[in-house]
A and B are shown apart, each in its own frame.
Chain A
């Protein structure tokens, strides 16, 4: 069965510090991987996606993610966190062929302190 695990429910980092949010997936076919961000009361905004090619992908707002097939992971990183990055982050997996439902992880809530 398809699944996404985000092991960290809540992470707190200092502004300016680096960030890594973990995501592990289980998917029977070639995965199509996403990170979405949800600010309080808002919808889901796509940060970045990966389907093939370079395993390090760049997204918006200075985020990047690295796909590691051997570890079934797709961790999200940012070298220097800003207070505005405080939000809920969701990892999701879909079919490489597209047009199929996404399976989401439970999310990681990021808090940023001064």
Chain B
């Protein structure tokens, strides 16, 4: 069964450093998402991406964040200058084109900013 994959599974970084989180969505999917979950809190939407551009973003997704689909398979989230409060689990999700499509989630990347 196809699945969304994410790398790395864990990342530890120093405050102010740049991090890139990587995702490989399900191959025939066209809509991609990033969500985050701060420890003990609910899953929150960050950004959605379709047709090589951002289709929607939340208030959390400020200028420190960017997304890119550098090739036909990867979907990345970059945090330019990490802050302590960026520590969270980051989930990538994807779904196909059409109504009532289900979003499938990857296993997540746990980011710890020190």
Contact = CB atoms under 8 A, between A and B. Distances in A.
Interface of A: 32, 34, 36, 42-46, 49, 51, 90, 92, 94, 96-107
B15 to A, nearest CB: 24
Contacts of B44: 104
Contacts of A101: 33, 35, 45, 48, 56, 58
**At the interface, is chain A mostly helix, strand, loop or mixed?**
loop
B105 A43 contact: yes
Nearest to A6: B42
B102 A46 contact: yes
Contact of B45 (A32, A36, A90, A102): A102
A104 B42 contact: yes
Contacts of B48: 99-101
Interface residues of B, number: 26
18 contacts: A32-B100, A42-B108, A43-B91, A43-B106, A46-B105, A96-B99, A96-B100, A97-B99, A99-B50, A99-B101, A100-B48, A101-B45, A102-B35, A102-B43, A102-B103, A103-B45, A104-B43, A104-B44
Q: Nearest 6 CB-CB pairs, A to B? A: A43-B107, A101-B45, A44-B105, A104-B43, A98-B101, A106-B42
